[in-house]
Amino acid sequence: MPDMLKDKVILVTGGKGLLGRAIVNDLRAKGAIAIKSDLFHSGKLDEFDLHCDITSMDSIKEAIAWLVNRFGRVDGWVNNAYPRTKDWGADFLDMQEDSLKKNVDWQLNSYILCCQQIIKQMIKQKSGAIVNMASIYGVVGNDFTIYKDTGLTPPAAYPAIKSGLIGFSRFLASKYGELGIRTNVVSPGGIFDHQHAEFVKRYEEKVPMKRMGTPEDIAPAVSFLLSEEAKYITGQNLVVDGGWTAI
């Protein structure tokens, strides 16, 4: 449906990342004015690329103000950025207090503050849709057998952050639904990104669809939840995982 999101103004945080690029491309293919927001943008702002640091309240406010000034509204907001410390992935028993606090602040609190600020604008419009990106590990526990001897260590804070985000999104859906503002979550399963070969093999042996996901598997779910096709859907967590959480 090429006109599914025709002329809707939608910002995607972390728009230059693996998932972010696919989400932006899918939104644009369906007619949206999709803004690729990222910490690593530089240079002048335009309607397609926008520098935004979601760990800075000033940067969040500036991004929203620019969008409203340029387009007059913001129809959708996708919290997809994934800021993290250099020691992200350390074993739970080796995790440092400062690192834990920073990652929770950057990955959960920043999403909350983005929602706070964009909802202020959506209240003025009496409409808007938010999609928060979570994970299957906000729904089910980690299967540590697939990581054995691969050098990969699932971050302990990750499930706490992602499950918290799912609960917070339900809070927003309940509080602001009457104002025409919808908030939903997309929880991807494992996305192939050239991980350790043994990890990929074990993952694909377990998942019912027998392959890891791709960014292009996830993006259409985001587009759907932002569209009028989902106009009566709010407070939901759409899991896109090839059946991982079904078993």
* Residues classed as catalytic: 158
**Four-residue CA torsion sign, 102, 108, 111, 116:** negative
Distance between CA atoms of residues 96 and 90, nearest Å:
9
Residue 121, judged by CB atoms within 10 A of its CB (0-12, 13-18, 19+), counts as middle
How far apart, in whole angstroms, are the C-alpha atoms of residue 247 and residue 141? 12
Give the whole-angstrom CA distance, residue 87 versus residue 101: 13
Name the one residue in this structure whose structure tokens are 């702002």. 45
Exposure letters 179-214 (e unless 16+ CB within 10 A, then b)? eebbbbbbbbbbbeeebeeebbebbbebbeeeebbe
